[in-house]
């Protein structure tokens, strides 16, 4: 039931973002879920082109309230937004930057990084690639996620 509610929220977000012409893609644990690497996901992680942040805000505000965000020193993301939509946490990153051993890795979404599209509740959902997210997780030091992508752990 929880997963179904989250997917309903994702479909509503997709409809709003697609109608607004926002370039976006799913990443994080939801991407791993869609690619069959895990059976659960905690929240919805969206990557957005930096040039579309204002369009995204206008599209998302009718869906749910912005939530306070706690900056993390490991990331230097240029725009990080949180929303709560019908009890589902949604993290939005534009200009995603990971700091690893003093080096900044620019992971900002570019349109050509949309690897594929799937349908959820009849709505088009763009996905980033597992290869991109394997790199991101490695830079974050999230070895369990890297192992999940590599197929070395149980789902």
Q: What is the pLDDT of residues 3-37, one digit of tens each?
A: 999 999 999 999 999 999 999 999 999 999 999 99
**Is residue 155 situated within a structural domain?**
no
Q: What is the pLDDT of residues 47-65, one digit of tens each?
A: 999 999 999 999 999 998 7
Whether residue 35 is contained in a domain is answered as yes
CATH number of the CATH domain containing 59: 3.30.460.40
Global pTM value: 0.91
36-61: b or e for each residue (b if 16 or more CB lie within 10 Å)?
ebbeebeebbbbbbeebbebbbebbe
Average pLDDT over residues 95-107: 89
Total structural domains in the chain? 1
Angle value at C-alpha 87, between 132 and 1, nearest 5 degrees: 80
For 136, the domain range is: 2-150
Residue at 56 is within a domain: yes
């Amino acid at each position: 039931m929880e997963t179904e509610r989250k997917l309903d929220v994702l479909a509503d977000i997709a409809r709003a973002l697609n109608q607004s012409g926002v370039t976006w893609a799913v990443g994080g644990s939801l991407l791993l879920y869609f690619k069959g690497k895990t059976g659960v996901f905690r929240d919805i992680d969206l990557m957005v082109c930096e040039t579309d942040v204002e369009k995204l805000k206008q599209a998302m505000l009718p869906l749910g309230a912005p939530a306070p965000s706690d900056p993390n020193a490991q990331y230097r993301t240029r725009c990080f937004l949180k929303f709560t939509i019908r009890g589902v946490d949604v993290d939005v990153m534009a200009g995603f930057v990971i700091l690893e051993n003093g080096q900044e890795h620019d992971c900002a979404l570019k349109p050509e990084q949309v690897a594929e599209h799937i349908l959820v509740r009849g709505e088009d959902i763009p996905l980033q690639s597992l290869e991109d997210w394997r790199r991101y997780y490695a830079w974050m030091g999230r070895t369990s996620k890297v192992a999940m992508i590599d197929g070395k752990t149980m789902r």
